[in-house]
């Protein structure tokens, strides 16, 4: 009690000190930063404006244009030799999952690592991703019992620097998640990563469970088994999620299962590797997004056993063809990678940028690819009012490259400057 009283008697000076500290900290954060920009890329229009100034205050873009007054005492960053654009986004990531080897299977990952270890893995991955220029990502599950929710919250609290993380919580799937024929004696240990939902009511309940535990979006896996979701089950998920302001993404490859996803009103088809032109046309009509996750062949080779090498070549060619057809038909597309393996010397950020090769191979113009990586992804993620473009009032998520990404999208592999919510996280050399 005595000790407690002593602390209490010092209460006022401590409170004063804290006030002074927070006022000072607040003042430091209110510091204005000015970016002098040689070429400001507008991904919506696919154009670049010369000699622009961006004024950043309190983490947001306060002004942008050719004739912005530079306030006295502002920190000025020289990007006059660079191409400046909004931070990149990936609509399909699994930040807590990597080093995956499909010859041992996805299930091994659930047993091998605790939720805490998976969260640490995810935090490291999130930071690698930010460093190469991705300022927002959507984690679409396989996150070890909501570990991505904790990563998101820790970054939001300012404990760690990282990208904006949106998470879907546990993946909702028909019985068994993405496991296959586990012995019944083992029990349903997939429930660490999945929610079994096999009726309209179970789907509704699963969506509510995810919202309760902090999901920003909903993810279903439809056709990973011989059975798949009906149109009614998809509609139930969409109704329940939309009522709470969340988008629904569904892992589905093609055929009748994909038709159910599109007609049921899901917001996005994830993967869609077997989509016919007819289904792509239906997606266009319904306004369904495609998050294509076209794995490069080198990634597939790393992911699957050696004896499948010939098959990986065919698979990658099929993905390029589907991407080409989707672009030609005019389906709305958001960039998504699903990268979960690691090639020697490459971190997750580098692996994600490898997907640019697939967009190039499909003949998608650089401006359209950049759009898929910025404003399109922001729209699908429902954050387009605060992120995804460089305009007054938007969050200051800004990156720069030495070369013009509208001419060659591979310029994005050389991101030389990253600002996240107004803080420089990768200073220009
Ligand atoms: Zn995935």
Instruction: Tell me the per-residue pLDDT of 193-212, one tens digit each, with 9 for 90 and over.
Output: 999 999 999 999 999 999 99
pLDDT of amino acid 23: 42
Write the DSSP assignment of 145-176 as a string of letters. TTHHHHHHHHHHTTSS---EEEE--SEEESTT
- In this predicted structure, what is the pLDDT of residue 30? 61
3-state class of 266 per DSSP? coil
SS3 417: strand
> Shortest CA distance to 68 belongs to which of 37, 39, 44?
37
User: In the predicted model, is pLDDT for residue 414 greater than 80?
Assistant: yes
Residue in 103, 179, 85, 181 with CA at minimum distance from that of residue 374: 85
The share of the chain scoring above pLDDT 90, in percent, equals 84
The alpha carbon of 239 and the centre of ligand 1 are apart by a number of angstroms equal to 23
Yes or no: say if 151 and 165 are a contact pair by the CB < 8 Å rule: yes
Check: CB of residue 293 under 8 Å from CB of residue 336.
Answer: yes
State in Å: Cα 190 to ligand 1 middle: 16
Contacts of 72 (CB under 8 A, 6+ apart): none
* Distance, CA of 388 to CA of 79 (rounded, Å): 19
Tell me how far the alpha carbon of residue 94 lies from the centroid of ligand 1, in angstroms. 6
- pLDDT exceeds 90 at position 306: no
User: What tokens does 86 get?
Assistant: 């909004």
CA 275 to centroid of ligand 1, rounded, Å: 17
CA of 96 to the centre of ligand 1 (A): 12
Global confidence as pTM? 0.92
Cα 307 to its chain centre, rounded Å, is: 32
84 φ, ψ (degrees, to nearest 5): -115, 140
- How many CB atoms within 10 Å of residue 426? 17
Write the pLDDT tens digit of every residue in 204-253.
999 999 999 999 999 999 999 999 999 999 999 999 999 999 999 999 99
Ligand 1 centroid distance, CA of 93 (Å): 6
- Stretch 124-132: mean pLDDT: 97
Mean of pLDDT values over 90-113: 84
pLDDT for 121 beyond 90: yes
| pLDDT recorded at residue 21 | 44
Has residue 327 got a pLDDT over 50?
yes
* Dist. CA 246–CA 277, nearest whole Å: 28
Identify any residues that bridge with 249 across adjacent strands, giving them in sequence order. Answer: 219, 268
For residue 24, the model assigns a pLDDT of 42
């Amino acid at each position: 009690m005595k000790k407690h009283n002593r602390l209490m008697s010092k209460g006022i000076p401590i409170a004063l000190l804290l006030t002074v500290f927070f006022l000072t900290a607040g003042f430091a954060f209110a510091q204005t930063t000015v970016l002098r920009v040689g070429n400001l890329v507008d991904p919506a229009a696919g154009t670049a404006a010369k000699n622009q100034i961006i004024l950043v205050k309190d983490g947001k873009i306060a002004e942008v244009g050719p004739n912005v007054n530079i306030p006295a005492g502002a920190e000025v960053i020289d990007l006059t030799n660079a191409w400046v654009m909004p931070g990149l986004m990936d609509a399909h990531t699994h930040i807590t999952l990597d080093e995956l080897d499909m010859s041992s299977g996805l299930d091994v990952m659930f047993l091998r690592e605790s939720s805490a270890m998976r969260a640490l893995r995810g935090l490291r991955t999130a930071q690698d991703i930010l460093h190469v220029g991705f300022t927002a990502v959507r984690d679409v599950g396989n996150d070890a019992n909501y570990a991505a929710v904790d990563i998101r919250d820790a970054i939001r609290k300012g404990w760690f620097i990282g990208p904006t993380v949106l998470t879907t919580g546990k993946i909702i799937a028909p019985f068994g998640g993405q496991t296959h024929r586990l012995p019944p004696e083992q029990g349903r240990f997939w429930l660490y990563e999945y929610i079994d939902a096999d009726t309209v009511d179970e789907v509704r309940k699963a969506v509510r469970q995810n919202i309760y535990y902090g999901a920003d979006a909903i993810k279903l896996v439809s056709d990973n088994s011989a059975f798949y979701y009906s149109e009614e089950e998809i509609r139930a998920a969409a109704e329940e999620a939309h009522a709470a302001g969340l988008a629904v993404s569904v892992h589905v490859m093609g055929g009748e299962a994909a038709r159910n996803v599109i007609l049921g009103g899901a917001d996005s088809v994830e993967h869609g590797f077997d989509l016919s032109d007819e289904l792509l046309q239906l997606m266009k009509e319904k306004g369904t997004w495609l998050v294509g996750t076209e794995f490069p062949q080198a990634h597939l080779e790393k992911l699957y056993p050696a004896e499948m090498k010939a098959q990986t070549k065919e698979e990658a060619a099929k993905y390029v063809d589907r991407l080409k057809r989707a672009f030609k038909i005019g389906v709305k597309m958001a960039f998504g990678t699903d990268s979960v393996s690691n090639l020697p010397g490459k971190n997750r950020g580098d692996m994600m940028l490898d997907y640019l090769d697939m967009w190039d191979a499909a003949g998608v113009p650089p401006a359209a690819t950049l759009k898929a990586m910025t404003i399109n992804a922001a729209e699908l993620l429902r954050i387009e009012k605060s992120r995804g473009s460089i305009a007054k009032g938007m969050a200051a998520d800004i990156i720069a490259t030495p070369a013009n990404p509208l001419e060659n999208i591979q310029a994005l592999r050389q991101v030389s400057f990253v600002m996240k919510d107004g803080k420089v996280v990768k200073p220009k050399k």
